[in-house]
Amino acid sequence: MSECPKCHQTVDAQALECPYCRTALKAYGHPGMKLYRATGSEPLCLSCLYHADDTCNFPKRPDAMDCTLYRDRAQPLLPTAPSYTPGFQLKTWMSRNLVWFAVLGLILLSLLIVLVR
Protein backbone atom coordinates (compact mmCIF):
# COMPACT_ATOMS: atom_id res chain seq x y z
CA MET A 1 0.00 0.00 0.00
CA SER A 2 1.24 3.47 -0.81
CA GLU A 3 0.06 6.93 0.08
CA CYS A 4 -1.50 9.57 -2.15
CA PRO A 5 0.77 12.64 -2.32
CA LYS A 6 -2.19 15.02 -2.34
CA CYS A 7 -4.79 13.70 0.14
CA HIS A 8 -2.44 11.31 2.06
CA GLN A 9 -4.94 8.43 1.97
CA THR A 10 -3.60 4.90 1.60
CA VAL A 11 -4.12 3.52 -1.90
CA ASP A 12 -3.18 0.35 -3.73
CA ALA A 13 0.41 0.38 -5.05
CA GLN A 14 -0.83 -0.53 -8.56
CA ALA A 15 -3.56 2.14 -8.67
CA LEU A 16 -3.35 4.52 -11.61
CA GLU A 17 -5.12 7.33 -9.76
CA CYS A 18 -6.20 8.02 -6.21
CA PRO A 19 -9.79 6.80 -5.66
CA TYR A 20 -10.43 9.67 -3.22
CA CYS A 21 -9.10 12.80 -4.95
CA ARG A 22 -8.48 11.47 -8.52
CA THR A 23 -4.83 12.55 -8.52
CA ALA A 24 -2.77 10.67 -11.13
CA LEU A 25 -0.36 8.29 -9.42
CA LYS A 26 1.21 6.71 -12.52
CA ALA A 27 2.38 8.57 -15.60
CA TYR A 28 0.09 8.51 -18.63
CA GLY A 29 -2.14 5.90 -16.97
CA HIS A 30 0.53 3.25 -17.38
CA PRO A 31 1.23 1.13 -14.27
CA GLY A 32 4.92 0.73 -15.15
CA MET A 33 5.75 4.44 -15.45
CA LYS A 34 6.58 6.08 -12.17
CA LEU A 35 5.51 9.68 -11.69
CA TYR A 36 7.81 11.68 -9.44
CA ARG A 37 6.31 14.63 -7.54
CA ALA A 38 7.87 17.51 -5.65
CA THR A 39 7.17 17.36 -1.93
CA GLY A 40 7.54 21.06 -1.14
CA SER A 41 7.36 24.26 -3.11
CA GLU A 42 10.74 23.66 -4.77
CA PRO A 43 10.56 22.18 -8.31
CA LEU A 44 12.09 18.80 -9.04
CA CYS A 45 14.44 20.30 -11.62
CA LEU A 46 16.67 21.87 -8.98
CA SER A 47 17.76 18.45 -7.71
CA CYS A 48 17.54 16.53 -11.01
CA LEU A 49 20.63 15.08 -12.68
CA TYR A 50 19.29 15.76 -16.19
CA HIS A 51 18.71 19.43 -15.40
CA ALA A 52 22.23 19.75 -13.97
CA ASP A 53 23.94 18.37 -17.09
CA ASP A 54 21.46 20.14 -19.43
CA THR A 55 20.19 16.98 -21.13
CA CYS A 56 16.57 17.33 -20.01
CA ASN A 57 13.99 17.80 -22.75
CA PHE A 58 10.90 17.83 -20.53
CA PRO A 59 8.54 20.63 -21.60
CA LYS A 60 7.82 21.77 -18.03
CA ARG A 61 11.51 22.38 -17.31
CA PRO A 62 12.77 24.21 -15.14
CA ASP A 63 9.59 24.52 -13.06
CA ALA A 64 8.35 20.91 -13.14
CA MET A 65 6.56 19.85 -10.00
CA ASP A 66 5.97 16.34 -11.41
CA CYS A 67 8.14 14.43 -13.84
CA THR A 68 8.64 10.97 -15.35
CA LEU A 69 12.34 11.46 -16.09
CA TYR A 70 13.52 12.61 -12.65
CA ARG A 71 16.79 11.24 -11.31
CA ASP A 72 18.14 12.58 -8.03
CA ARG A 73 21.70 13.82 -8.52
CA ALA A 74 22.56 12.96 -4.91
CA GLN A 75 22.06 9.25 -5.68
CA PRO A 76 24.85 7.30 -7.41
CA LEU A 77 24.24 6.74 -11.11
CA LEU A 78 25.53 3.17 -11.28
CA PRO A 79 25.67 0.57 -8.54
CA THR A 80 29.12 -0.20 -7.20
CA ALA A 81 30.99 -2.98 -8.99
CA PRO A 82 31.23 -6.27 -7.10
CA SER A 83 34.59 -6.96 -5.57
CA TYR A 84 36.30 -10.06 -6.91
CA THR A 85 38.03 -12.57 -4.69
CA PRO A 86 41.51 -13.67 -5.80
CA GLY A 87 40.37 -17.15 -6.86
CA PHE A 88 37.21 -15.96 -8.63
CA GLN A 89 38.58 -16.32 -12.17
CA LEU A 90 40.00 -19.77 -11.44
CA LYS A 91 36.67 -20.96 -10.00
CA THR A 92 34.81 -19.59 -13.01
CA TRP A 93 37.20 -21.29 -15.42
CA MET A 94 36.94 -24.58 -13.54
CA SER A 95 33.14 -24.49 -13.50
CA ARG A 96 33.08 -23.87 -17.26
CA ASN A 97 35.42 -26.81 -17.93
CA LEU A 98 33.97 -29.30 -15.44
CA VAL A 99 33.37 -31.93 -18.14
CA TRP A 100 37.05 -31.96 -19.11
CA PHE A 101 38.06 -32.38 -15.45
CA ALA A 102 35.74 -35.38 -15.19
CA VAL A 103 37.22 -36.95 -18.35
CA LEU A 104 40.76 -36.33 -17.09
CA GLY A 105 39.84 -37.87 -13.73
CA LEU A 106 38.49 -41.02 -15.43
CA ILE A 107 41.65 -41.34 -17.55
CA LEU A 108 43.88 -40.98 -14.49
CA LEU A 109 41.77 -43.52 -12.56
CA SER A 110 42.01 -45.98 -15.49
CA LEU A 111 45.80 -45.56 -15.66
CA LEU A 112 46.08 -46.08 -11.91
CA ILE A 113 44.06 -49.31 -12.09
CA VAL A 114 46.18 -50.62 -15.01
CA LEU A 115 49.47 -49.81 -13.26
CA VAL A 116 48.48 -51.41 -9.95
CA ARG A 117 47.59 -54.81 -11.54
| Among the ranges given (4-8, 32-36, 40-44), the one the predictor scored with the smallest mean pLDDT | 32-36
Q: How much is the average pLDDT of 34-52? A: 84
User: Residue 66 pairs with which residues in a beta bridge?
Assistant: 37
In contact, 24 and 43? CB cutoff 8 Å: no
How far is residue 113's CA from residue 110's CA, in Å, rounded to a whole number?
Answer: 5
pLDDT digits (tens, 9 = 90+) for 7-35: 888 888 788 888 898 888 777 767 777 78
Question: CA dist 20 to 13, 33, 49, 101, Å?
Answer: 14, 21, 33, 65
Q: Is the pLDDT of residue 77 over 80?
A: no
Peptide bond into 62 cis (omega under 30): yes
Question: Which SS3 state, helix, strand or coil, does residue 72 take?
Answer: strand
Mean per-residue pLDDT for 58-70? 84
C-alpha closest to that of 42 among 69, 68, 65? 65
> Among the listed ranges 18-22, 47-51, 74-78, 105-109, which one has the minimum average pLDDT value?
74-78
For residue 71, pLDDT over 80 is answered with yes
Average pLDDT of the chain, as a whole number: 83
pLDDT at 25: 79
User: What pLDDT shows up at residue 80?
Assistant: 66
Per-residue model confidence (pLDDT) at position 46: 86
Tell me phi and psi for residue 88, to 5 degrees: -60, -45
